Amino acid sequence: MNIIENPNTTAFSDGSNLGKGVVGAILGAAAGIGAMYAFYKLAGFRFPLLGVGIGILTGFFAKLLAKGGDETLGYICGGIAAPAVVGTLYLMYGEFPIISIISVVVSVSMAYKIASS
């Protein structure tokens, strides 16, 4: 019986679900983008290190919805967090300031660390 015939098959051996984890990562990234942009609009100044919050929320929501962490989920979260941070910084600055690569690297590492543990 393959995965198409058995829809109850989970992605991980411990009963967690990779698909729900990816959805959680996307929702977490969206929440982080909203929080970072709202802070920029309300406070009136740009703080690029808030991009780390996007990574934290991405990893946390992914782990929460997947009901556990996995290295594969960590890689996926890092891949989702990176363009989310770059896109938000581009939205705020109108360009991507190269010094903000620090925020992207820390965000990706946090997303990976949280989702893979």
Percent of the chain at pLDDT > 90 equals: 67
pLDDT tens per residue across span 51-84: 899 999 999 999 999 998 899 999 999 999 999 9
pLDDT beyond 90 at 87: yes
DSSP for 1-13 reads --TTT-TT--SST
- Residue 77 near residue 85 (C-beta atoms within 8 A): no
Residue type for 64, please?
Answer: L
pTM: 0.83
